[in-house]
Structure formats: C-alpha cells, structure tokens
Structure 1
Amino acid sequence: MAHNEIQNKDNAPSKSNVLNSDVVTKNTQIASSSNHHFTINKFYIVSFIVLGFILFFVIFYLPQSVVQPKLESDSKVFMAKEMRKPIDESPWHQAQLAKHRKTSQQILANVLEKQSHLENLHIELWAKNEFKSALEIAQKGDLSYRSQEFDTAISLYTETLQALITIENKIPEMYKKYLAIGNNALDNSNSSIAIDNLKIAMYILPDKIEAQEQYDRALVLDKVLSFAKNGKALMHDQKFEAAKDMFTQALSLDKQSPINKELLSEVNTKIKNRNYSKAMSQGYINLNNKKYDLAVKYFTSAKKINSESGDPQNAINQAKNEKTQSKILVYLSQAKNLELQQAWHTANQKYQNALSLDPSLIDARIGKMRTAAKNKLKLEMQAIIENPMRLSNNNVYLEAKSTYIKATKIKSPGSHLKKQISLVKLALKQSTSDIKIQIMSDDLTTITIYQIGNIGHFTNKQLTLKPGEYTIIGSRNGYRDVRKILTIKPGSQNNVISLKCNEKITNG
C-alpha cells in the first residue's frame, strides 16, 4: 500500500517523502527476494511430478503394450514361408561372372606378356604412338573389369592384344628400316645419326649380329676418321711408316673402313719400292753368314712388299735348300758317330731326321735299316738276358735261339754286342741244364708236381728239374691240401722245399 501511495503522490522534495522512499525501497527488496524463492521451489515441484509420471508409464503401462512375436510351431509352414522368401544372390549369375572374369584375366595375362616383351625392346623409341594407343584401350578394359562388365573388358583386352601383336609383326620391318638408316649414316660419316638408329635396331632385334657390328663401327667412326686425316697429312710429308701406322690403327678399330683400306693400300705402294731393295739386301747378307732363318725372313718380307717379283721366292727357295742340306749333313755325321758308339736307337733317329728332310737319301735309308736291325737284336738279347726264366717255355726258347744265331752272323758286332751274345749263349745253355732239388715231407702227405705228376709220399726225395716255375701240391685224407710254388733259376743250388699237410679238417 505504501508503494501505491508513493506512485499517486507528487514528487515533492520534503523530508517525509525521502523517508517514504527508503521504506519503499526496503519493501521492494524483500518482495523481490520472496518471489525468487517461490520460483525455484515451483521448478523443483514440476520436475518431480514429470519424473514420477515417466516412472509410472515405464513400470505399469509399457510392459502391457509390448506385442509378443508369434512363434511358428508348425515346421512345414515355416519351411514354406522360407521358400517364398526372395534369394539375395543368383548362383548361375555368379558362375557366369566368374567365368568371364577368368577369361578376361587370361587375355590380360597375354597382354601383359606382350607389353613386357615390347618394353624390353624399347618400343618407346620405334612405335611409341601405336603402343600408347594400345595401352589406352587396355585402360578402358580395366574400367569395365572393375565395373564387372566382363564382356566389354574381354573385347577391349582382345583389341589391345591384337594391337600389340600387330606391332610385334612389324619388328622385322622396323629392324630393316633403322638398320638401313644407320648404315647410310655410317657410309656418309655421320656418327651420331648412325649410333642412334643402329642402337634402335639392336633394341628391336638384340640377337642380330649385323646391327651390333655396325653399331660398334659407328662408335669408333669419329676416331677412325681422325686417324685417316692424320695419316693423309703424314703421307704428304713422306712419313710413310707413320702414315701406315695411322691407317693400321684405324683398321684395328674398324676393319671394314673403306677409306682406310684404300689409304693403307696407297701407302704400301709408296713404301714397297724403298723397302724391297733393303729387304733383299739384308736377306743375302744373312744367307752368306749361314743364318738361314733370318735370310728367309727378309726374303719373305721382300716378297710381301712386291709379290709380283719372282726374285724373293727364288731367294727363299735357295735359303731353305741350303738350310736343308746343312741339316742333312749334320744328321748324317751324328748318326755315324752314334753307330761307332753302338747307340743304335739314337743313330736310327738321326737317319730318320735326315730322311724327313730328303726321302731320296740312299745313305740315310741304308743306315736306318742297319741301325734298326741292330737295335732290334740288341733289345731281343737284352730281354733274354734279363728274363732267363722265360726260356723254360719251349716257344720262347726257340725264339731266343734264333736271335742268338742272327747275332753270331753279324760282322764286326762291337764290344757291347759281343758281350750280349756271350750272355745269351750262357742263358740258353743253363735253361736246358738239370737242377737238383730236394723235397721233404712226412711220408703221410701225397706229393704232386703239376708239370710232372704224382710222385708219392715220402720223407725225403731228390729230383732233377730244368729251370722254371713248378706248382707242388700236398694232399692227405682228413687234412687240408697244401700248395706251394717252386721257382728253379738257371744255375741255382740248394733248392730245398718242405711240404706237409698239418691242418686237420673238422666236421661241423
């Protein structure tokens, strides 16, 4: 009420108005505070009411409103419903997709193989655009493949493959093209163009030797031309050897260089007249000094310088003939000296050396036959002397006797041969002389000599046998046989052997 009164009165500046104003202010603050507390309490009350309503709804009403799913108790009805449900995927469709996918992959594998092959041949250098176009078609095929449009992918991959095959079929043609360009540049002394084109030709057909050889020539072309230029300048200054060296170096780099072949021929012509006379002169000097090999060397050099002249060949023949005659005289002289020393085998070789130089030499032929016969006789008698035991064989004995008779008929046999003849004679005599042997046993063992026969059982027995090798067997019932080899050497004495069967055989 105080507040309403204040609003209806005039605003007079009196003491009572000021007091009333203070009272009004205090009352207003109290009223505002009361209203604030009331608002908060009201909010809490409303919140509790709403929350309680929600709990009531969830606990009591919501469970009654939920509809329970109807379970199908009849299995036949359940299966019938399942059969009527739409199938998400078609097996036939998936199988066809898989089949086309595999086909496209197979074609793509062939494409990749062709691509790799052509890339190895550096196709970017000789069929770049065609190759690029083919790969662009393949890229379109990739898009179709990703979209599972396999029929389109197969068509595009096949088109790519055919394009790559077409490029492959052009390989021989492209090889010939770049080889021809390279060869033409080589003939025109243009090394850079030759190198570029021959390199491409090698890339196209790496196994072709022609392109490789021409490419090697192109690599050294500038150096070869430089040698030719320098050689011409040297030839102009009459420095023929230096010029020839230049041309030779050029040809060592390129054996097919036509310009250097021509220049080499020219410089050889210029120097041959000068060198010809010098070579012939050196040849005759060496011939007179009996230096036959050096003489032939100089005459041969002269012949190379001037092959049209017959003089060098005549000089060569003369030098070779004198060398041959000199060698023959040396061989014959050596052979005769060796015969005096009774070195028949070495003398025979010297006669053979002389005959290899001149088969018509009579003295050498006779000397060869003579020394061969004496050497053979020497070897045969030496074999008899070294192996006298072989004479126990009748055939060997007869051959040895024949050898001995031949040796005795040689005139002037020499001391060595005489000694051999004497030793062979003794060996022949001793081989037929009986040698006493003594066999000792136990009078229980039966003794058998293979070459003679059964000689019974005894305690001591003496026999006479010719030199040789004998097998003696001792046998006795119930005892293991004993076998021994008796070797009787010519002229030997005190040949005693003991043979007894001592090892009893046990059964089981």
Structure 2
Amino acid sequence: MSAIEQEKQVGSNIPIASVDRDRAPDFDDESRAQASANLKRVAIVSVSVVLFFVLLTVIFVLPRFVQTDQSVADDGAEASAVVADDSTQVAEVHDPTEAAVWRRTNQARLEQALALVTHLKARNVTQWAAVEFEAAINAISVGEKAYTEQRYEAAQSAYAEAIESLQRIAARTEEVVSQAVDEGFLEIASRNSTAAAAAFEFALSIEHEHEQAKAGLARARTLDQVTALVNEAEGYEDLGNLDAALQRYGEAVALDGQAAGATSAIARIKQVQLEARFKRAMSDGFAALEAKKLTRAKSAFARAIKIRPRAQEALDVLEQVENQILANRISQHLRAAISSAQQEKWVESAAQYRAAVKLDADLDGAATSAERATDRAKLDRQLESMIDQPHRLGSNAVHQEAQTILGTARSITQPGPRLSQQINRLADAIKIARTPIAITLVSDNATEVTLYKVGPLGRFERHSVSIIPGRYVVVGRRNGFRDARVEFEVSPDHHDAMITVRCEEKLAFESDR
C-alpha cells in the first residue's frame, strides 16, 4: 500500500455519520447524547488529521525543495512509458521548463488548500461540516497522488476542487455561528439553560471571540438562578408584596441585565407603587382639608405633585389651598389691624395693614387704612410729647404748635378714650401754661437785678412778680463784684417760690484799691 493510500485511509477514518450535512446541529436530547458518544471518535479524528498533514509535508512537499530540473530531464524517457498495472495513469509529457512551472503552481495550490484546512480545523469544522471537509481532504490526496505520478494537470484540478470546497465551507462559518447563537437565545427564552449553554459553547468553538456568544453563555450560566428569582418575584407580586417582588426582580437583573420579564416587571411595580403613593398623598390632603388643616393639606398636595408633577388634579387643588391660606393670612392681618385701631394702638394697626397690603397689593381699602393709622400714630406721639413737657408751652412757638396739634385732635370724629383724654390733658396744660404764677425775688438792695423775658427790676431787698410757667434766668450786677446769674423754672405746682440773687464776690483789683 502506497503512502498516499495510507493517508487516504487515515482521512477516511473521520466520522461523518453523526453530523448533519446541511445545518448546525440541533440541541435536543437525542443529539446531545449522540454528541457525547462521539467525543472519543472526535479526538481520534483530530489526531489522525494532524498525522495526515505531517505525512503530506514529509512525503510530498519536502522532496520538491530538493528535486531539480535535471532529474526531470534524466527521466524524460520514463514520461512516455506505460505502467504494466491497469490502475496506473499514464504520466503527462512536459519539457523540463514546463514541468517546473507546473510543480510551482501545484505547490502554491497545495499551500493554499492546507492553509484553508488549518483555518477550518481551528474553527471546529468536523463538528458542523464533516462530510464536506472529508471530501476536500480526499481531493487533496487525489491531487498529491497525481502530482507524484507527474500528472500535473490532474493534480491542479484536484487541488482546485479541494480549494473550492474548503472556501465554500469557510463561507458558511458566519451562518453556522449565527444559527447557533440564535438557537442559544431561543433556549434562554425557553429557560433551558443546558441547551442554551451548549449552543453558545458550540458557537464559541467556531469563533472564539464572538461577543454575542460570550454574552449569551454568561446569561445561560446564570439562567437557572435568574429563573428561580423571577419565579419567586412573581409569587410575591401575586401576593401583593411588591417590595419583596421588587427586590427579587432586582437581584435577577443584577445577574442578567436582560432577564426575561424582570426589567419590565420592575418598571411595572415601580409605577404601581408610584400611583399608590400619589393616591395616599392626595387622600391625606383631602382629609386635612376637611379638617381645615390647610398647612397640612398644602404639604400633602405638594407631596403628590412631587410624585406626579403633571397631575392636573393635584395642581388645581394645591392652588385652591394656597389661595385659601393666603386669604386667611390677609384676614388675620386685617383683624389684627382693626383690633389695634380699636385699642388706639396705631403703630401696631399700621403695621398690620401694611402686612396685608404686602400679601395683596390690590386689597381694597387696606392701603388707605394703613395711611390713616400712620397719621393717627403720628398725632398720638405729638400729643404725648406736649403733655409730657408742659414747661415748653410757655414758649410762644411751642404754644402755637400745641394749639395746632390740639385742633387736629379735636377734628377727629368719634375719638376713642385715649384721644379724648389726651385732648383734655393738653388743653389743661396749655391753659395752665398761660396762667401767671407769683414768685418772690430776694436781693441786697445793692445789686441791679434783671429778669429775662420780663426786664430790669432795679435794686431791692424783696420783689414780687407774676410770670407764666417756664424756664427763666435772673442776672445781678454790682460794681466791683462778680455778676450773679440764677436759672430757675416756674411750675404750676409750685407757688410763692423765692429766688435769691446777690453780687457777693468782690473782684480782686477792687479790693487792692
């Protein structure tokens, strides 16, 4: 048996009965069992194919690097010889140059075919295109046999057939991987973790870095745990325990971000919880409103709007509550202003009116009332100032001012008790302030006495004079003596006051004389 026939026999050992020729394997129970049974045969095939390529290289490739064109010339006569065995083909007749070209061409074709074989072996071709791959290997063997028999055209034809077949297989790689990945995701949807993992592992055995297959395999490996969590979450949801359901769904999504139904369930539960919180806030608001707890109602309706910012019902009722709260505050200020006015506390009354106007600038009469209260507060201060300082009333200017203030006070209709009392007190103070009071000035009959506001009084020992209440100054002068000056106040409460004024301190230059 020749080396080529031996290699063909090795190649023919590749198992082909267990592989579907037209599509990637289905991942049902029967195929999985069959695949498990064929694992040993696959290992044997892999070893056989490797040995086959080594033998091809040793037997057919290496001799070409040492064979020379001279050997072809020496054996030219043999090219036309007929082999006695009927199964042997007649060698083609070529001149040495043409034969060298044929050899180089066939060598290039063989290298191309072997590169495709290596490429497909790395992609687990025996698991998804074993029959076609076996046929291509056989075509390479036929080409090698023809080459050793110097039938170069036949060798080229066989190589071309092998290359075409291998290229067709390579072109199917993406389709086979895609089908396996699709099958894996279908199995995930069916919650069949074993079949899903097998499909993705098969895809990765062909294309090792396929991102979808990697992601799918990761999902398949957590599928059972994810399924258990989703089932548990669904049970909690049926029982109405939404918090527990949400937690389980969240754990499922943490394991598999695309867990079937978990993401949508989380959104659904959150929406239900959101609606429940909204209804609870609205209910709290209406209950507080019924109990006339406006501040509490406002807080509840504001909470509802925070949950659902565009809820028109909540927006409308919150506006009504805020308007009512505003109206109540204005009413409180107005009541306080009126109460203060009735008590003739005009400063407080004016402040309350201004607070009401600040809340509502268009409030009828409030601004006018604030101005009126301010005027009354000013009048009250003026009256008290005059009453508290009656000694000032002796001045003509102050007296005139007091009369004006008194006239303003008397012009007010329906004066309150405080204003009436102030009018009476100021009128009395004005009257008293213009009533002369007798006082006695005491001197030494040597001092010239002058009473400001009255005039010179001359020398005397005692002198009585009647003057209206107020502050006065009396001055004494005497030659050779220092002037005497006395300030005093005449009060309606003190009659017959005695004021002494004498010049008693001699000047120094007068004493030296």
Q: TM-score, normalised by structure 2?
A: 0.45
- Which of 1 and 2 has higher RCO (CA within 8 Å, sep 6+)? 2
